[in-house]
């Protein structure tokens, strides 16, 4: 075969042309593909919406009253480990502010006169917290009337930030200002100190709380204001019950205490 | 599609050329039909948003063809007909009408890009610049590719004549 000329090449390439593609088939196939594409996009949008909704729901659930428990609840409610590391969900600024707050070695004691209001409004007009509360540290000292033991026990610590901290502060502030008329008898009274921290990281005056095992008889005071029958918000109450002061090391516990020797 | 009639008119006007170009590119009647349908579906989905449908269709055709040849090693490989080997029938008499078939058979022996350049230049009658724009390559590359492809065709034809 002789080397092809350009004319031969063009003629060879044009040989056999004539029929057309089926345009209806193209349109049907195109419409099908478009529908599939829309379905895929819609499915992706639905998946994104569902996943986003679940995420928002989970965040809302954990950031709400904390009753979700588990790891979600620890986002806003945190009890630091021995190293004092805060939960990553607490904002770093709040974490730093909380880290600077140390629990008093013993539960705060305020004058008895201050915690004995004569009327309904004398102490109710005074606020427990002087400013805005953005986070709180709750220190647990265990049962009262065991002062000798509590001196040797490190208070347990609970850090609350965000909405939970505000709910605790609000529930304390809005607790009844009048002493209960009925007498409450309780075998055990747990002692707590609630230390408020504002948005700037400034620590407020600790509030002492005595929570009996019975539903009534709770007493909360900062020395100038008094509240009675405080009910911790749902979720926080369970956490408070779980708090227990750290037992002293064996060597310290075994050594004679001053009261024991005297 | 807002202008389905426009698309139908476009296919009626250019469909035959595109289908034949697809057959030349693939070297197979049915694969050419599949290729032109793939390209025309892309045009249909973009119809109303493209200014120049014919260059777009040509580009879609060539790109789809090159994509198919790239995927060949893991994609679908039709085995209904065995591949033809160039030179198998060279001993037989080559009539004047058979020389066209022989040329097209030799065209199948070219690399996909070389074949695309030949088809665009000598079947679609595109200039070197238009061919370069369609293939997305420099004009110089089109020139060299075309020259190399023509040389191979000449060599094949000459060796087949011996």
Our CA-based measurement puts residue A44 at a distance from the nearest CA of chain B, in whole angstroms, of 21
Interface test with B, best of A27, A29, A36 (most B CBs within 10 A): A27
Q: Is A192 within 8 Å of A222 (Cβ atoms)?
A: no
pLDDT in tens, A68-102: 444 433 334 444 444 344 444 566 777 787 888 88
User: Which residue of A lies nearest to B93 if distances are taken between CA atoms?
Assistant: A1
Cα–Cα distance for residue pair B32/B48, rounded to 1 Å: 25
Residue A188 has pLDDT above 80, yes or no: no
**Weakest mean pLDDT among A45-54, A119-128, B142-151:** A119-128
The better pLDDT of the pair A54, B89 is held by: A54
For chain A, the average pLDDT equals: 75
Residue B160: predicted pLDDT: 61
- Kindly list the distances between the CA atom of residue A16 and the CA atoms of A75, A133, A245, B17, B119, in Å, as whole numbers in the listed order: 74, 86, 95, 11, 14
Which three-class secondary structure state does DSSP give residue A259? helix
Orientation of helix A162-173 relative to helix A23-63, angle to 10°: 40
- Residue B85 clears pLDDT 60, i.e. is over it: no
Give the residue-averaged pLDDT of B126-141: 93
Complex ipTM value: 0.75
What are the tens digits of pLDDT across the range A34-46? Answer: 899 999 999 999 9
Chain A residue with Cα closest to B160? A1
Residue in A2, A3, A19 nearest the CB of B19 = A19
CB A226 within 8 A of CB A115: yes
Q: How many CB pairs under 8 A join A and B?
A: 99
Q: pLDDT at residue B81 above 70? A: no
């Amino acid at each position: 075969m002789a080397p092809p000329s350009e004319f031969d090449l063009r003629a060879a390439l044009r040989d056999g042309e004539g029929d057309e593609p089926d345009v209806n088939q193209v349109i049907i196939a195109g419409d099908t593909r478009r529908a599939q594409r829309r379905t895929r996009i819609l499915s992706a949008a639905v998946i994104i919406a569902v996943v986003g909704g679940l995420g928002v729901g989970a965040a809302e659930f954990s950031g709400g009253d904390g009753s979700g428990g588990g790891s979600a609840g620890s986002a806003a409610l945190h009890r630091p480990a021995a190293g004092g590391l805060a939960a990553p969900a607490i904002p770093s600024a709040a974490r730093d502010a909380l880290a600077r707050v140390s629990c008093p070695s013993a539960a705060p004691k305020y004058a008895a006169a201050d915690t004995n209001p004569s009327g309904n409004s004398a102490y109710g007009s005074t606020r427990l917290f002087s400013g805005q509360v953005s986070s709180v540290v709750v220190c647990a000292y265990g049962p009262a009337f065991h002062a000798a033991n509590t001196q040797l026990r490190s208070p347990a610590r609970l850090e609350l930030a965000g909405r939970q901290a505000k709910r605790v502060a609000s529930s304390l502030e809005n607790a009844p200002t009048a002493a209960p008329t009925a007498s409450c008898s309780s075998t055990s009274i747990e002692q707590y100190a609630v230390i408020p921290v504002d948005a700037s990281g400034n620590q407020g005056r600790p509030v002492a709380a005595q929570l009996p095992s019975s539903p009534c008889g709770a007493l909360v005071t900062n020395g100038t204001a008094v509240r009675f029958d405080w009910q911790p918000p749902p979720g926080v109450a369970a956490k408070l019950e779980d708090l227990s002061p750290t037992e002293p090391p064996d060597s310290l516990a075994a050594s004679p205490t001053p009261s024991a020797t005297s | 599609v807002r202008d389905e009639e426009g698309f139908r008119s476009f296919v009626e006007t250019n469909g035959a050329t595109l289908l034949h170009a697809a057959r030349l590119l693939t070297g197979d009647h049915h694969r050419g039909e599949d290729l032109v349908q793939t390209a025309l579906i892309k045009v249909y989905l973009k119809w109303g948003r493209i200014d120049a449908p014919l260059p777009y269709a040509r580009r879609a055709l060539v790109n789809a063809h090159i994509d198919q040849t790239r995927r060949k090693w893991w994609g679908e490989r039709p085995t209904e007909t065995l591949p033809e080997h160039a030179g198998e029938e060279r001993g037989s008499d080559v009539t004047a009408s058979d020389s066209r078939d022989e040329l097209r058979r030799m065209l199948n022996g070219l690399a996909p890009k070389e074949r695309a350049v030949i088809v665009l230049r000598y079947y679609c009658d595109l200039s070197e610049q238009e061919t370069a724009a369609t293939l997305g390559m420099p004009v110089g590359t089109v020139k060299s590719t075309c020259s190399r492809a023509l040389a191979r065709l000449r060599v094949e034809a000459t060796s087949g004549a011996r």
